[in-house]
Structures are given as C-alpha cells and as structure tokens.
Chain A
Amino acid sequence: MDGVKGLGELERTVMEVCWAREEAGVVPATARDVSRALADERDLAHTTVMTVLDRLAKKGFLDRERDGRAWRYRPSASREGYVTELMLGALNETGDRDAALAHFVRSVSQDEIDALRQALDELTQEPPA
C-alpha cells in the first residue's frame, strides 16, 4: 500500500508544479521542467517523473502536445475547477441526485431557512446546562 500512496502523493506534487506554471503564465512543462522544479525537495529519477506525467495524462488531468521530441503538459482544469466540481457534487446542485454520495443536509427554501435560524437561536441562547 505504501507504493500506491507514494504514487498518489507524487501525482499531486507533479500536478502542483503544472498548476503553478499555468498560474505564473509560463509555457506548459516538459518532463525535464518538472524534474528540475522538484529537484530541490525530492530525489526523483527522471523516468519516474515521465511515468507520473504519462499517468496523469491518461487519467485526463493533463493535456499534452508535442514540442520537438518532448511532450509539454498543461493542466486540463484549474485546481479551483476541481474543488468546485467536488463541491457541486457534494452540495447536490447539479440537479441529479446521485447515489455516489450521501448528503449531510438537503437544500431548503428561504422560508425554511428563517425557521431554522430561529430554532438555532433558541437552542444556542439556552443557558448552558
């Protein structure tokens, strides 16, 4: 399991490098660029970085295009985009109640929110027992 966990963490680190370049407006990264960016914090074989980039591209998280003999990798969506996708799924605002997730609380109307606020006030203003 350690190996799997390590690989997941590596994917995340590599994505963060690609996102940082995108935000800085730098050209999409080659495997060499990613290796260099990570050289300080990790001792990674260049082939490992290439493998991770390849995996991320196959999973659809990175788009790649040819640049001479190398590939350049660009994030398919921003980090915020993915966070929003997860939150929309969780908040259930996509209109499709999906069985994937059990939701903590369902959406309520404005009238209901008023009633809830009132109940909350009553509950929290009680003297502590």
Chain B
Amino acid sequence: MTGPALLAVAALLTVLGAQGLSKARWTWRTPRIAIGLWQALGLGWGIATIGALLGVALLPYHRGIVHGVPGLVADNAARLDVVHMGALLAAVALTFVLLTMLATAVVRVVRARRRHRALLALVARGDSAAPDALVLDHPGAAAYCVPGVRSSKVVVSAGTLALLDDKELAAVLAHERAHARERHDLVLLPFYSLRQVFPQIRLVGRCLDAVELLIEMAADDRARRHRPAKELATALLRFAAARPAAAPSGTLGVAAADIPVMARVNRLLRPEPQPRRIRVAASVAIPVAIVIPALLWTLPPF
C-alpha cells in the first residue's frame, strides 16, 4: 500500500504547491522560472494522480505499477475485485479525458488560427507607422500576436496607432514579438485545456490566471531589453484605461497594486532583484516535481 500512498501524497503536495504558487508574489520577480514551476506542478500532478489510481488497481499483483502491468495483462485482470477495478477504470478514464481534451484544444486552436490568418490576409493592411505588423481598421485598442510555426504575425488596430505614440507603439510591438518568439501560446494551452476538464474547480482557474499574468510579465521583461521600461508602462496604462469596462463583479475593493496591469506597471518601473535563493530553490523544485512521481511508478512494493 506504500507506493500508492506515496503517490497520493505527491499528488496532494502538487495541489498544495499550486495553491501556494497561485497566491505567491515572488513569482513576479522571476516569471520564467515560475512558469517552469507551474508546468512541472501540472505534469507532476498528472503523473502522481494517475499513478496513485493505477497503484491501487495493481495492488493484487504486488509488483508496483510499471512491473505490475504485465501481470495484469497476462491474467486479463483476473485478480481485480470491485475496488481495484474501479481504481483502474478511474486511472484510464482520467488519462483519456486529459489527453483527449488537450488534443481537442490543439485542433480547435489550429482551426481558429487558420481562419484568423485567412481573414487577416483579406482585411488587414500594412502601415508605415507599424512596420512588421498588420493593421486592422478598427477604432478599438488592441494588439496581439498570432503565433505560428513558420511565421508569427503581430496585429495592431488603427485605434492602437491613434492611442500610443511611436515609442510606446514600438514597446508594445516588442512585447508582442516576445510572445511569438517564446511561444507563450504553447505554454498556455495545457492550462486552458485543464480548465476545460475541471471548469468548476476554482484552483484550476486561478492557476490559469497566474500563468497568464506570468507570460505577460515574461514578455514585458523581454520587451524592456530593447525598449525603455517606462514606454511600455505608459503604453500598458493607456491600453488598459482605453478598454471597455468589464462587469465590476468580484473586482470591487481590489487594491490598485493587485490589478494585474498595475502589478506589471509597478515591476516595470521599479524592478526588484531576483533573490538567488529563490532562483535556486525554484530551479530545484522544477525537476523534483516531475521526477519524484515518475520514480514512484517504477518502485517495487515495500
């Protein structure tokens, strides 16, 4: 029983870790490492949870998970009673749902992007004010990137050109190119897909919010290598203030510094150093979160 119990503990630890990480603020100092940690926690959770279920299912074979599966196949699961069979079905179902939803998300994104590119080819134009970018003739303020394997496109609206001065625009374009170059869309995809699998679990939604903010910060960091931070900060504020107001539900009473945009502006204007011990601890935690659950799969029973 020790193997499945350890895996269950590992799964619980990844959940607690995600809980803590979703509230953490130190992550804003090292967004890239924090993104890696989120990915590791997600993967570790999957390996540990599926492993715990499989471990329970394979208990009658007394050989752990990896070495127990051949036995299960050899006697057509003859040794499983109702509880073990239930655990086996749960493990298979969870694996199936997670992989299918991820595949579906990929297909949906590929389709949406194909249509998006086709439409851009028909209606977007070039503009000397924003070289290398496509311009949409719309008064609203928007800037985004359409990532792609061969070529990524940065798109801005006419409203954006009117809203920002040349330097701010250059900062925004640098930010968007950073998204494209670092393929942040691929970072987000598994988290979107996880939220679709568990729409009612609030922790999953908070994870997605945290990762979304972190990739913005990572793109900010790359943009500020090429452009002064203040230009990007004022661009961010102009952008956010120009957006149509969203429903105020759930946001009342939020301190200004906790608005994601303000958090980004603050760290652009007053960057905090990345403490070495945090960097080291997080860098160690990333492989550990994946390797420990994976090792537990191979353990013989003890």
Contacts and interface: CB of A to CB of B under 8 A. Distances in A.
Interface of A: 8, 11-12, 15, 59, 61, 79, 82-87, 89-91, 93, 97-113, 115-117, 119-120, 123-124
A95 to B, nearest CB: 11
B254 A116 contact: no
B118 interface: yes
B118 A59 contact: yes
A108 B144 contact: no
Q: Helix, strand, loop or mixed for chain A's interface?
A: helix
Contacts of A93: 244
Given A99-B185, A108-B243, A119-B265, A86 B120 contact: yes
A90 B256 contact: no
25 contacts: A11-B121, A12-B122, A59-B118, A79-B123, A83-B138, A87-B142, A98-B112, A98-B192, A99-B105, A99-B108, A99-B192, A101-B145, A101-B146, A102-B215, A102-B219, A104-B142, A104-B172, A104-B175, A106-B261, A107-B244, A109-B246, A113-B243, A117-B237, A119-B262, A120-B241
Interface of chain B, helix or strand or loop or mixed?
helix
A104 B192 contact: no
A91 B113 contact: no
Interface of B: 105, 108-109, 112-113, 116, 118-124, 136-138, 140, 142-147, 155, 157, 172, 175-176, 179, 184-185, 188-189, 192-193, 212, 215-216, 219, 230, 233-234, 236-241, 243-248, 251-252, 254, 256, 259-262, 265, 269
A90 B237 contact: no
